[in-house]
Amino acid sequence: MTAYTVQQLAELVAGKVEGDASRRVEGVASVDRAGPTDVTFVVDARYAQRLGPRSVGACLIAPDMQMEANGTAYIRVESPELAFSKLLGVFHPEHRPDPGVHPTAIVGRGSRIGADASIGPYVTIGEDTVIGSGTQVGPNTHIDDDVVIGQDCRIGPGCTILHDTAVGNRVRIYTGVRLGVDGFGYTPGADGLMRIPQVGRCIIHDDVEIGANCTVDRGALGDTVIGQGTKIDNLVHVAHNAAIGENCIIVAQAGIAGSVEMGAGTHVGGQAGVSGHLSIGPGARIAGQAGVFGDIPAGETYSGYPARPHRESLRASALTLRLPELFRRLVRLERRLDGEGE
């Protein structure tokens, strides 16, 4: 493992050293586990307490933190969290496979692979598909016909990207993701349910991340869209014609039904579900496991089943627990009235 001086680290994160700038740092660690050759970070008094009197290799601290002089080299930065995140990448650089198309990859007619792209073994790429420069495609992934993938994307192993899907730049598609799946649309016909052909597209904008084993349907007629910068955790389902705004956060196992319109900056908790054709305002927050059956205004926090404003849900939930007491008090009143009536 490479080692750095505190001075070198401070330069990487545009910080100011207080202490021994020549101290040698060999790794990153959480505040609870950091030792004499680790860099860690402290954002507030609680973190400082967890660090205690230990002398660690280096410690990133916020502009206003007062720390004890105990041999630790402090690096004062605007945001210790961001700086620490950057140093994580410095000490643990992501593996970059060699550029080029692996000899076992199969690339269809008319498809173009960008410079410095890396296409792994047993990848299959259809016809007339374009893959941007610097993009990595993991082993055993299938990319269909007429797909466009931008630059510097990472597509994991074992993914499927179906025809006419468009993926922006710097997008991360984790292993096992399925993009552009036929949506769930049927109409009653003479011989039972008839499949409605799904002819829309699946559009993933720049800087999106989609977690392992997620599924994103193509549109029925129009498009399914994931807005720029949105991050999606594992095992999430996004149905046909959903339009997810920019910079949303969707936690694991949540489900977004068809034609949902979700504004920018919305947070969706784990295992939450949003019913079809609803409108979720920008900046809304949906709690974990919430079942959303109606529109949510911008900036509001909803929870429960059916989901309602969080404060209402909390109050109803608390009072539900007091139902036994409520029944007892009611019976007592009835008895008193009966007694008085005698």
Q: Report CA 164 to chain centroid distance, whole Å.
A: 24
Alpha helices in the chain (DSSP H): 6-12, 45-51, 80-91, 310-321, 323-341
15 binds a copy of itself (CB under 8 A): no
Residues near 323 by beta carbon (within 8 Å), at least 6 away in sequence: none
CB of 85 to a copy of itself, least distance (A): 5
Cβ partners under 8 Å of residue 172, min gap 6: 153, 154, 208, 209, 210
Q: Convert residues 77-116 into a mask of x (bound to a copy of itself by CB under 8 A) and - (unbound).
A: ----xx--x--xx-xx-xx--------x-x----------
Give the type of residue at 174: Y
Cα three-residue angle 229-142-99, rounded to 5 degrees: 75
298 interacts with a copy of itself by CB under 8 A: no
Q: State the catalytic residue, choosing from 142, 237, 240, 267.
A: 240
- Residues 127 and 149: their CA atoms lie apart, in Å, by 13
Q: Does the footprint of a copy of itself cover residue 271 (CB under 8 A)? A: yes
The only residue of 253, 280, 285, 302 in contact with a copy of itself, by rule CB under 8 A? 253
317 in contact with a copy of itself (CB under 8 A): yes
Q: Is 277 in the site for a copy of itself (CB under 8 A)?
A: no
Which of the ranges 7-15, 57-65, 118-126, 294-302 carries the binding residues for a copy of itself, by CB under 8 A?
118-126
Concerning whether 240 is annotated as a catalytic residue, the answer is yes
The one-character DSSP state at 151 is: S
Pick 89 or 299: Cβ nearer a copy of itself: 89
- Selected binder of a copy of itself within 30, 46, 70, 71 (CB under 8 A): 30
Token output for 51: 């660090």
CB of 69 to a copy of itself, least distance (A): 26
Q: Within 13 Å, how many C-alpha atoms sit on residue 283's CB side?
A: 3
With residue 291 as reference, give the H or E element that holds it.
strand 291-292
Nearest-angstrom CA–CA distance, 281 and 272: 16
Amino acid at 236: V
Q: Which of 63, 68, 299, 327 binds a copy of itself (CB under 8 A)?
A: 327
Residue nearer to a copy of itself on the CB measure, 18 or 50 = 50
User: Distance between CA atoms of 64 and 44, rounded to whole angstroms?
Assistant: 9
If binding is defined by CB under 8 A, does position 275 make contact with a copy of itself?
Answer: yes
Distance CA 340, CA 342 (A): 5
Amino acid in the structure at residue 226: I
Among the listed ranges 9-17, 22-30, 52-60, 278-286, the one in contact with a copy of itself (CB under 8 A) is: 22-30
Single residue of 293, 297, 300, 310 touching a copy of itself by CB under 8 A: 293
Kindly state whether residue 182 participates in binding a copy of itself, applying the rule CB under 8 A.
yes
Based on the shown chain and the rule CB under 8 A, indicate whether residue 304 belongs to the binding site for a copy of itself: yes
Q: Which of 77, 107, 181, 280 binds a copy of itself (CB under 8 A)?
A: 181
Number of residues that bind a copy of itself (CB under 8 A): 105
Q: Which is nearer to a copy of itself, 72 or 215 (CB)?
A: 215
Q: How far is CA 30 from the centre of its chain?
A: 22
Output the smallest distance, CB 117 to a copy of itself, in A. 18
Nearer to a copy of itself, 3 or 319 (CB): 319
How far is 16 from 265, CA to CA, in rounded Å?
A: 33
Interface map 205-244 toward a copy of itself (x if CB under 8 A): --x-x-xxx-x-x---xx-----xx-x-xxx-x-x-----
Contact (Cβ atoms closer than 8 angstroms) between residue 19 and residue 73: yes
Tell me whether residue 66 or residue 187 sits nearer to a copy of itself (CB atom). Answer: 187
Measured CA to CA, the distance from residue 16 to residue 30 in angstroms comes to 21
Task: Report the catalytic residues.
Answer: 240
